[in-house]
Amino acid sequence: MNHSVALGAPTVGQEELDAVREVFDSGWLSGAGPSCLAFEKEFAAVAGVDNVLSTSNCGSALHLAQLALGVRPGDEVIVGDYTFPATGHSVMWAGAKPVFVDVRPDIWSIDPEQIEAAITPRTVGIIAVDPFGQPADYDEINAIARKHGLWVIEDAACATGATYKGRNVGSLADMTAYSFHGRKGITSGEGGALASARAELIDHARKLHTYGIAPAITREGAADLPIPSFDELGYNYRMSDVQAAIMRVQVRRLPDLLLARQRAADGYLAQLGDLEQITLPTALDDRTHPWQSYVITVAPELDRGAVAMALRAAGVGCNFGTYASHLQPLYGDQAALPVSAEIFSRHIAIPMHANLTEADVAYVSETLRSIVSDSAVRR
């Protein structure tokens, strides 16, 4: 094997190490400390809103968002189907039922034309997912929500730095949840954030993310000995200050990382755009795609598993795209959603990260072209 290209890779280095050392020297390593507060202020510029809460991951951010918006057991929440099950799980954590809705066949986000048919008297909100980073149709989704008195949460796990019609992801819904997992555009290994234009929602989420009381830093320097009182069930959903220090550097890197991913996506388009056996992802002109993942659709006559195994054998990292959530047994009886089910069976994620070189993109493209033209991967 003369070349190996990882599916995903973080871009971290000495700046992140220096930031972590500063936290070590400060003595405050635990969650919701000075570094977290500084990160939240800096990330607000990315989100396009004033109110940000750092969290342990995107799933906890989604859970907190629903609790802050008043979700109760027995409620129903409409969810875009093509997503990692953390989205549906978060609804169940809040005691509600996820009701999955099919997705657009081109950009794989929730199909606005199918939302209203899923609304019942128990529906309280909509969670729209931005598959692999490209924002969903928020003008249409918000119009439906307003018509029916529903809230909207944006699952922007993959969408940090994206825009929709000139507006930042973070300012498109009532609340927006982000992920900083190791394969995301910016990362501290794990971690997440919750953003909103509504300060009262983030204030409530902040209380709930520290067991139901104000974080300890709010009591620093008090003249007496304040004893918090627990009057609401909360959770430990805090980001550590070590992670926040890393994230502060990653936020500064974000513009360059987005450019590097766009160059890789442009390279794939130039070198694979004419290949009949695969369909490349669609990037719409009215929104910017941060390319958290680059997901291709293999032709029906190809054996998706055989293509993936051949790529891996050639040193090219790959995986399936994400999940058709309605097919997962945890969620019980759900409506048949043919678009999501079809793309779930035909998607392959190929290498996408900011460290890809032109030689990497060329090798992946040449390897993929050779494999899909081989009769051995046909059904």
- Among residues of the chain, what percentage have pLDDT more than 70? 100
Distance between CA 78 and CA 81 in Å, rounded? 9
40 touches 193 (CB < 8 A): yes
Q: Which residues are 350's β-sheet partners?
A: 294
Q: Which of 147, 165, 184, 207 is catalytic?
A: 184
With left for phi above 0 and alpha for psi between -120 and 50, is residue 291 left, alpha or beta?
Answer: left
The beta strands (E) that lie in 217-334 are given as 278-279, 287-288, 294-298
Q: How much is the pLDDT for 129?
A: 98
Query: CB atoms < 10 A from the CB of 27, how many?
Result: 8
Average pLDDT of the chain, as a whole number: 97
Q: How much is the pLDDT for 221?
A: 84
C-alpha count within 13 angstroms, C-beta hemisphere, residue 315: 11
Residue 296 reports pLDDT greater than 60: yes
> Which one-letter DSSP state was computed for residue 3?
-
pLDDT in tens, 171-224: 999 999 999 999 999 999 999 999 999 999 999 999 999 999 999 998 988 889
Q: Residue type for 300, please? A: P
Distance between CA 212 and CA 208 in Å, rounded? 4
Active site residue 184: yes
132 touches 367 (CB < 8 A): no
Closest among 147, 142, 107 to 126, alpha carbons compared: 142
Distance between CA 324 and CA 371 in Å, rounded? 26
H or E element in which residue 11 lies: none
pLDDT in tens, 245-288: 999 999 999 999 999 999 999 999 999 999 999 999 999 999 99
C-alpha count within 13 angstroms, C-beta hemisphere, residue 96: 27
> Which one-letter DSSP state was computed for residue 67?
H
Distance between CA 159 and CA 167 in Å, rounded? 13
Walk me through the domains of the chain, giving residue ranges and CATH numbers.
14-102+110-251 (3.40.640.10), 254-377 (3.90.1150.10)
Query: CB atoms < 10 A from the CB of 321, how many?
Result: 21
All residues at 6 or more sequence positions from 186 whose CB lies less than 8 Å from its CB, including other chains: 160, 161, 180, 247, 250, 251, 253, 254, 257
269 touches 363 (CB < 8 A): no
Residue recorded with tokens 């990382």: 257
186 touches 160 (CB < 8 A): yes
43 touches 64 (CB < 8 A): no
Q: How much is the pLDDT for 16?
A: 98
Q: How much is the pLDDT for 2?
A: 76
Task: Please indicate, yes or no, whether the overall pTM of this predicted structure exceeds 0.75.
Answer: yes
Residue recorded with tokens 């890789």: 264
Closest among 277, 327, 326 to 306, alpha carbons compared: 277
Q: Which two tokens stand for residue 291?
A: 């390319």
Q: How much is the pLDDT for 220?
A: 87
All residues at 6 or more sequence positions from 85 whose CB lies less than 8 Å from its CB, including other chains: 323, 325, 328, 330
Q: How much is the pLDDT for 200?
A: 98
Q: Which two tokens stand for residue 81?
A: 């189907």
Q: How much is the pLDDT for 99?
A: 98
Residue 375 reports pLDDT greater than 60: yes
Residue 1 reports pLDDT greater than 60: no
Question: What does the DSSP assignment read for 239-254?
Answer: PBHHHHHHHHHHHHHH
Q: Residue type for 286, please? A: D
pLDDT in tens, 77-132: 999 999 999 999 999 999 999 999 999 999 999 999 999 999 999 999 999 999 99
Mean pLDDT over 332-355 rounds to: 97
